[in-house]
Amino acid sequence: MKFMYLYDFKQNLNLPTMEKSESSRRRFVKNALALSAATVIPTILTSKASGRSMPESRLVGASERVNLACCGIGNQGGGITRTLYNTGLANLVAFCDTDMGAPHTERMLEEFPDVPRYQDFRRMLDEMDIQIDAVIVGTPDHSHFPICMMAMAMGKHVFVEKPMARTFRENELLIEAAKKYNVVTQMGNQGHSGANYFQFKAWKEAGVIKDVTAITAHMNSPRRWHGWDTGMTGFPQGMPVPATLDWDLWLAAIPYHEYDKDFINGQWRCWFNH
């Protein structure tokens, strides 16, 4: 099976812009700003409804929270989902992951057993459309573009992890779509969210740091492919696909190749598809 887009995305940018009420847009922007500043949110209240603790912010009532659909609920995507949920400003209304039931997704499913779950983001957006305000995209890089584009075309606000997309053209189309559909968008970058970033920004603005001509950076720990055989000349031979994984959906828009354990869970960045 080959992954098929539901839209001709370039042509779809010429469709009429979706209308949203200005009050609801202002409300979402206010909430989005609060989500970005999660570390300064006041004391979290708790609700015992449904048998588990659920954070509720003093800033917004239940009906004012953003209804989030989460694409990618394990590893990095799971971390994003928990962070936004723990602000008390978001309702989790749908989960999507191509590997439902794998060890890295089971924890989230156990924590939120009542949230509807999907393996195909297209089906999730189609069936849950009116219940979704915004979409989190914390999936492998090669699937960012199709998920974001479909969500924005349906009028959904989007938070997508870095990198925004694979190619310059995909990035251009996403930027055009965000303007076309008048949605709030953000690309995640932890480096721009930590205290060290703001410290250096303050030093730069105060003139403590100036006339920078070069930066040297080092990493002192192994990651992913470091230490692999440098004589590798092709993809691994392939392995049986785990029963929990929809491999065709995981591949999204990249050329087909057989499954291997070293392609998933962050390892996709070790490889390049020509």
168-204 residue pLDDT tens: 999 999 999 999 999 999 998 766 667 777 888 888 8
Q: Which are the contacts of 251, defined by CB distance < 8 A and separation ≥ 6? A: 3, 142, 257
pLDDT of 238 reads 87
Rounded (5°) CA angle 26-137-94: 80
pLDDT tens digit sequence for 76-125: 888 889 988 988 889 999 999 999 888 889 999 999 999 999 999 999 99
User: What is d(CA 210, CA 198) in angstroms, rounded to the nearest whole number?
Assistant: 16
More confident residue, 39 or 148: 148
- Name 201's Cβ contacts closer than 8 Å, sequence gap at least 6: none
- How confident is the model over 223-241, as a mean pLDDT? 72
pLDDT value at 256 more than 60: yes
**What's the average model confidence in pLDDT over 132-143?**
93
| pLDDT average, residue stretch 126-153 | 94
Q: Which residue has the higher pLDDT, 11 or 253?
A: 253
The confidence score (pLDDT) of residue 273 equals 66
227 pLDDT band, cuts 50/70/90, is low
CA distance 241 to 244: 8
Give percent of the chain with pLDDT exceeding 70: 69
Average pLDDT of the segment spanning 226-254: 82
Which ranges of 49-167 would DSSP assign to H, the alpha helix?
Answer: 75-85, 103-111, 121-128, 144-153
Confidence of residue 267 (pLDDT cuts 50, 70, 90): confident
Asked whether residue 133 carries a pLDDT value surpassing 50, the answer given is yes
CA–CA distance from 56 to each of 30, 50, 67, 91, 210 (Å)? 16, 14, 14, 10, 44
What angle is formed at CA 140 by the lines to CA 138 and CA 142, rounded to 5 degrees?
Answer: 120
Query: Does the structure show a pLDDT above 80 at 142?
Result: yes
Task: Establish whether the linkage from the previous residue to 163 is cis, with ω within 30° of 0.
Answer: yes
Determine the Cα–Cα distance for residues 140 and 233; give it in Å rounded to an integer: 23
* Domain extents in the chain: 22-191
The mean pLDDT of the chain is: 76
Q: How much of the chain is in helix, strand and coil states, percent to nearest 5?
A: 40, 15, 45
Residue 73 token pair: 């609920």
CA distance 221 to 223: 7
Highest-scoring range by mean pLDDT, 17-31, 53-67, 155-169: 155-169
- State how far the Cα of 211 lies from the Cα of 202, in Å rounded to an integer: 15
- Partners of 23 in beta bridges: none
Query: What is the architecture of the domain spanning 22-191?
Result: 3-Layer(aba) Sandwich (3.40)
Q: What is the pTM of this model?
A: 0.72
